[in-house]
Amino acid sequence: MKKVIVTEHAPKAIGPYSQAIEVNGMLFISGQIPINPATGKLVSGGIKEQTEQVFKNIEAILTVAGYSLKDVVKSTCLLEKITDFQAMNEVYSKFYTENQPARSTYAVKDLPMGAAIEIETIAAK
């Protein structure tokens, strides 16, 4: 059975999609960009600050759904500039310290709201 996951501790969807969907012990989190949920605006700063905010958003959704970062099995990282890869990776590695999930990283032309990063996440129990 499909369950829609919603929390006020992560940004509201800016389009016709859900923050996350849980089905059959798996959680599919929509791409998170560095929006501060309290203000609805992108956080200031560079790729490191933006990556930190993305992870705050991901953790908020995981928590409300009853999951944690340890349950994450796949991440897809979208970067505005591939030259941000190393700096993003420094922050990313602080959140996944062991048994890291599978991951793909791509440079893309543009991201919503002018973000420098977006991360999609899949977790499983």
| CATH code for the domain of 80 | 3.30.1330.40
Percent above pLDDT 70 for the chain: 100
The band of 106, judged by pLDDT with boundaries at 50, 70 and 90, is: very high
Structural domain containing residue 53: 3-124
The per-residue pLDDT for 15 is: 87
Residue 64 has pLDDT above 90, yes or no: yes
Domain count, the chain: 1
How far from 82 is each of 78, 79, 109, CA to CA, in Å?
9, 6, 10
What is d(CA 69, CA 100) in angstroms, rounded to the nearest whole number?
9
Q: What integer best gives the mean pLDDT of the chain?
A: 96
Chain segment 72-86, per-residue pLDDT in tens: 999 999 999 999 999
The band of 93, judged by pLDDT with boundaries at 50, 70 and 90, is: very high
- Of 122, 22, 11, 101, nearest to 60 by C-alpha is 11
What is d(CA 33, CA 118) in angstroms, rounded to the nearest whole number?
5
The per-residue pLDDT for 32 is: 98
pTM assigned to the model: 0.96
The per-residue pLDDT for 13 is: 87
Chain segment 2-22, per-residue pLDDT in tens: 999 999 999 998 889 999 999
The secondary element (H helix, E strand) that includes residue 77 is strand 72-79
The per-residue pLDDT for 57 is: 98
